[in-house]
Structure 1
Amino acid sequence: MSMHLTRIVCLALALLASGAPGECRTILDMDGRRVTLSDEISRIVTIGPVPVLNGFLFAFGRQQAIANGLPRELTRKYQFVFAPDLATRPVVQSSAGLAVEDIVALRPDLVLTMDRSATDKLSALGLPAVLLKWREPDDVKTLMRLLGEILDERKSAEDYIRYFDETLARVATTLGPIEEAQRPRVLYVNYRRLTQPHRIAEWWMARAGGHSVTDDRRTEESVTFSLEQMIGWNPEVVIVPDRAEVELVKAEPRLRDVAAVRNGRVHVAPGGAHLWANRTIEQPLTVLWAASILYPEKFPRAALENEMRSFYDRFFHVPLGKEQIDEILADSPGR
């Protein structure tokens, strides 16, 4: 893009956003697209997996910059704990699609999404839409570096990446070498749909010292299976997304002899900014939590709680109390 054209785009962005001309720069998003942005990013709209995208911004302390609220179907209690003002923000998407006019009216300096079609649609309207991707585990590092560049928070991005690597290294050191045959068989399942919904779960189970029974090196994001297949796998640990599914699993008579059910090892995945079992900025905590339920003698509960307090204080700038830690870990109702 020529300097002259960049200046024109910059002026257009200023009119869409603050209304006052300012300096601009061009970045490459994770799809290789050139996006012209204002130097000053003060209003951000998140589109698509809103809790996931918001979590990235929480890690940069940018809660106040988020201009939109949470769609009803994506609402998570702790989004409002970490960013109370989200409750008063307008919702700009639903199952029916995007409220494009409402997005334009917010005059964002930046739109973040993981959906290419949304990026194309909003870019065509002159909005500064940046496409983020997180398919492979290490993509989160590229993503955080990109956001660090966009938000002029490179140090914060590198701090998170260092924490990510150090936490995984600590878990690996504590676990020590484990023969494949000695790893507990683990199933993460959306039981209502009999689906393992996210490939990322194969990664964090392995990092926590488990063997995922659904890990067939697939390239698809999710895998669906039958109850008979679940019984055949005979997982020693089952992880589900909410407390109601624990009761559904326990109530199914055909599962009574599955090792996880028989031995009381059906667990609810924690949920903070997002469900830890899925893609979330809290992924290092996911690995630590999973290791703590697979090897409780090596990873005591108290150490996990301390790590959580440190994480949310360090990155989200929100101190949590004992009751909140317990709730995130699914020990009490209301999540």
Structure 2
Amino acid sequence: MIERMRDYALGLADAARDRKRLKQTPIVPQRNVAGTALACVIAIMTFLSCLTFGGVTLVSNSASEWQTQIAREATIQIKPSRGLDIDKAITDASAIASSFTGVLSTRVVDEQAMGRLLEPWLGSGLDLDELPVPRLVVLSIDHQSPPDFAAIRERLSREVPAASIDDHRTWVDRLVAMARSTVLIGLTVLMLMLSATTLAVVFATRGAMAGNGHIIEVLHFVGAQGRFIAAQFGRHFLATGFKGATAGGAAAMLVFGLFSWWSSRNMATPEADQAAALFGNFSIGTTGYLGAFVIILVIAILAAATSHLTVLSYLRQIEDPNRDFDL
């Protein structure tokens, strides 16, 4: 009798351990080759996506800075002609421009400065009196309340016919068009990256289901709800996606941080000056880092949602073999 009770107790203990082991055994393998490969793919996609977003942010910020700098200045050009007192024309043009509200100050580009501007093309030692080189008057503009350029242009044409004003509107329009095109191209590339990530998750989910298809079918036919099964895959791919996205996003942020550090360390070199003229100081700012963080979250959630929908579609196919696989 005692032996029977002992055997019965041992059997209950073994059954409890089996139930506990079964309960702790995940439907989706936590570590496998497919999961590691998927994490690497997601890391690469996130890295490229964050680089794309950061590049778009740099170009947009630089274009905005260029636009602001151009909008703060205008130029009056006075063309020399026979019988024209160029010095008087410069003085009159400066006085006319200064009389308008929105013009903060005027600055005449003297002959020495003009010579330095032309030196790379015409060489040194120029005598500007022998060349029909226009003289320039630079206007500092209040970009928040600019003057009436049409009125300035009309008055100059009436009182100083040799003078013409350039408000740089053509350059501003080109910069705005370039910035918009760059942002559009960057967003298109970003959407392609997210689409490729989605397809990678779909194929990885199918591979995981192929390796655990018998478990899914048994759970489904014994009454486990599709949402429960899909949730197991969703949690697994959420963790995988978050790990890969975090690694890729951190690498992209490190790249921008290194470029910003390099730019600050080499501010006086010609290379850094050219790079700063094109891209600023390589700092993507709060917007860039916040955008990278959002991309990491989006890709992780996208991985979980895609796997969830893929599993539900697979279960619907089990119930109806004639039904096509939606994803």
Pick the TM interval, shorter chain: under 0.3
Higher strand share: 1
Higher helix share: 2
Kindly indicate whether structure 1 or structure 2 has the higher relative contact order, using CA contacts under 8 Å at least 6 residues apart. Answer: 2
Give the TM-score of the pair, scaled to structure 1: 0.21
Larger radius of gyration: 2
Give the TM-score of the pair, scaled to structure 2: 0.21
